[in-house]
Structure 1
Amino acid sequence: FILSSCLRVWPTNPKCWLQLRNYLFQLNVSFVLKALSLEAKALLFMDKIARYQEAILQILTEYSKVRYSNLQAENQLIADKENHRYQVVTIGWEGKKFIHDCPMHMDIINGKIWIQRNMTEVDLGLKLMESGVPKSDIVLGFLSPKIRGYSDYAVS
Structure 2
Amino acid sequence: METTNQLLDVEKWRETLIKILQYYADLPYRYGDVKTYTIVSSDRNHFLLVHEGWEDGRRVYGTIVHAEICNDKIWIHYDGIEDGVTDELVGAGVPKHRIVLAFHPPEIRQHTGYG
Distance in 2 (CA, whole Å) between partners of 1:82 and 1:111 is 15
More helix by share: 1
Per the alignment, residue 92 of structure 1 pairs with 53
Query: What are the Cα deviations for residues 56-102 of structure 1, in whole angstroms up to 9, with x where unaligned?
Result: 11100101111122221010110115150000110001111111100
Q: Which runs of 4+ in 1 moved over 2 A?
A: none
Partner amino acid for 2:61?
Answer: H
Asked which structure has the greater CA Rg, the reply is: 1
Per the alignment, residue 6 of structure 1 pairs with none
Bigger RCO of structures 1 and 2 (CA < 8 A, at least 6 apart): 2
Verify: 1:138 aligned to 2:105, yes or no: no
Aligned residue for 2:31, secondary structure, equals coil
Query: What are the Cα deviations for residues 28-55 of structure 1, in whole angstroms up to 9, with x where unaligned?
Result: 46xxx7xxxxxxx9xx83xx11011011
Equivalences for 1:1-156 in 2 at 5 Å?
A: 28=2, 45=8, 48-154=9-115
Partner amino acid for 2:15?
Answer: E
Distance in 2 (CA, whole Å) between partners of 1:58 and 1:122 is 17
Partner amino acid for 2:55?
Answer: E
Aligned length: 114
Mapped contact 2:48–2:63 kept (Cα < 8 A): yes
User: Which runs of no fewer than 5 residues in structure 2 stay unpaired?
Assistant: none
User: Which runs of no fewer than 5 residues in structure 1 stay unpaired?
Assistant: 1-26, 34-40
- Residue identity over aligned pairs, in percent, reads 28
More strand by share: 2
Aligned residue for 1:105, secondary structure, equals strand
Partner amino acid for 1:132?
Answer: G
TM-score, normalised by the number of residues in structure 1: 0.67
Partner amino acid for 1:123?
Answer: G
